[in-house]
Structure 1
Amino acid sequence: MDRLRNLASQKAVVIFSKSSCYICHSIQTLFYELGASPAIHELDHEANGREIDWALRGLGCNPSVPAVFIGGKFIGSAKDVISLHVNGDLKQMLIDAKAIWL
């Protein structure tokens, strides 16, 4: 869990993903289109990916990816990110975390 917290706080936006997950790719693309440059951690390419996967499940992520952190705070999965984007809150969260500027 400590490793997860350290990774999640390294950049304004951190996404835990798997390279074969099309939903993960879609969420990554959304952040790029909003102007953010997230840190992407592909769990299937990380040496301790399985450990991180279990830590994400411990946070309530099921499935474990994509898992999004903004400003070091756990935001949620794809469903949560899409909901925030649709209601207009995601962009403001990115501005507040200094992930994007206007």
Structure 2
Amino acid sequence: MDRVTRLAAQRAVVIFSMSSCCMCHTVTRLFCELGVNPTVVELDEDPRGKEMEKALGRLLGRSPAVPAVFIGGRLVGSTDKVMSLHLSGNLVPMLRNAGALWV
């Protein structure tokens, strides 16, 4: 859990992902198209990925635990929560407040 929270706090937007997950790719692409340069932690490519995946599962209360999106060091959630924020117009202001967007 410490590793997850430490990584999540290092950058404005951190996405915990699996390289083969289409929803992870979709969420990452959304942030890139908005002009955000997220840090993407590919759990299947990290030696401690399984440990982090379990910790994320406990935080989210579900499995699979990816994508798990953190903005400003806080857990936002998965694809459904990110898309809901985007469609309601609340994602961009949240990204600005976290310092991920300047415009």
TM-score (norm 2): 0.97
Q: Structure 1, unaligned stretches of length 5 or more?
A: none
Distance 2:77 2:44 in 1: 19
Q: Deviations over 1:42-88 (max 9, x none)?
A: 00000100000000011024320000000000000000000000000
Distance 2:62 2:82 in 1: 13
1:79 partner amino acid: D
The TM-score normalised by the length of structure 1 is 0.98
| 1:96 equivalent in structure 2 | 97
Q: Deviations over 1:4-52 (max 9, x none)?
A: 1001011000000000001100000000001100000000000100000
1:70 alignment counterpart = 71
The residue number in structure 1 matching 2:37 is 37
**Corresponding pairs, count:** 102
Contact 1:61 1:77 in 2 (8 A): no
- Runs of 4+ in structure 1 displaced over 4 angstroms? none
Alignment RMSD (CA, Å) = 0.7
Q: Do 1:31 and 1:37's aligned partners in 2 also have CA atoms closer than 8 Å?
A: yes
Cα distance between partner residues in 2 of 1:63 and 1:82 = 18
1:14 aligned partner? 14
Identity %: 53
What letter corresponds to residue 51 of structure 2 in structure 1?
Answer: E
Please give the alpha-carbon distance, in whole angstroms, between the structure 1 residues aligned to 2:62 and 2:26: 17
